[in-house]
Structure 1
Amino acid sequence: MFAKTAAFPLFATPVWGFDLPADKALDINGRLLVLLERWFTPRPALKPGETWQTTHDLHQRPEFAPLLPFVRGSVEATLDALAVRERAWTITGCWANINPAGGFHPPHIHPNNLISGVYYLQTPPNADAISFHDPRPQAHLIQPVATKGVPETQSEIEVEAKPGRMLLFPSWLRHSVRPNYGNQERISISFNVMLDDYAARNSAPMWKGFREDGTRA
């Protein structure tokens, strides 16, 4: 009927995935799991369903240095994809998430940052996904019965979380983690990134005006 058809993915919300080489992931994850066990034993006393985070200074500890090149590489690749001009940025926080059996993370965002990321150290079966939520609540006001789930109509999408995988996403994108139905702790490393001197570098008007002599600036 038509000579050509196309669907245009307007206003897409990307989530970027980076898988470390298997040997690197095995080495780094093994080291970090040992460190976390040493630093944070005994575990905090928690109520059923609760989870906990470490302090948010892990990126400043020398022992975490082996992971940082991969964080930097993933952030730079994401900024490339977004065509961001300013490239001075800072890790504003980095911490471990420990989800014991039954532990979960309710939907949340990471305010006052540009990009957030998570790197997976240990994801037992039945605790191996992260959920991202459609930031357009009005898009689901009308929900026709579908024959299958497609990203264009889903209000929540799960992305596989596996050891050695790093996921980056806009810090405003709401996300959550379902309860850990596995027998092991689910352990991940989260981090936030913000551009340096954002107001000074980015807040001036982006358009060019005319000078007094009538020429464009």
Structure 2
Amino acid sequence: MPLEKNYCGYTKPITLTRSHAALLSAGSSLQIVESILSGESRSGIGVIRPPGHHAECDETYGFCFFSNTALAAKYAIEIHHLERILIIDWDVHHGNGIQRMFEEDPRVLYVSLHRLDIFPLKPEESDCNVIGTGAGAGYTVNIAWPKRGMGDAEYLAAFQQIIMPIAYQYDPQLVLVAAGFDAAQGDPLGVPTSPVKPHNIPKRLLPMLEVNSNRCQHRW
């Protein structure tokens, strides 16, 4: 008998097949980081499902079982003793699970670009005034769009004017990207919220790769 969990208003059965896929997804993220930090690879990409950035430490949420990118960062901290990891989350929804895991931890700088008026609909946790707590204060950056209609120009401006200056100052040892593509034009969950053209999305990544190549030890 499959367990039942609620995903953003929908009830989805957690079957053994889905659980296995979720474990493979999370494990693949760890394997990528291990390959990079061991020197086997210079960079990597995980084409994996299910996604992860909504999953909390103790709860599945928003179609997500495990917070894959957050677990990858935690692996790099605990196993390879990294002290500065930058996570960029450009999914059109706020990555509440990643933020929650590291909101008190200065070893992870979490930057999220998202809309406030769609799921998870918690502006008190995801607007620009939310910057982390305790030792992690200042290490959470929420670039929160108030409404739909943000496109290439707005995203590229956010990278050039906000994210890149912060990234240079932070000088990360590892960059992880939670690369949800529902901000891309044509995606039913994101459009017409943020009609970014798919071929322009890599332009957002190129400056980060430049940071990694010139100043950062590793990248994902």
Place the TM-score, normalised by the shorter chain, in its bin: under 0.3
**Taking CA–CA contacts closer than 8 Å with sequence separation of 6 or more, which of the two structures ends up with the larger relative contact order?**
1
**So what's the TM-score if we normalise by structure 2?**
0.26
**So what's the TM-score if we normalise by structure 1?**
0.26
Structure whose residues are more often strand by fraction: 1
Q: Greater Rg, structure 1 or structure 2? A: 1
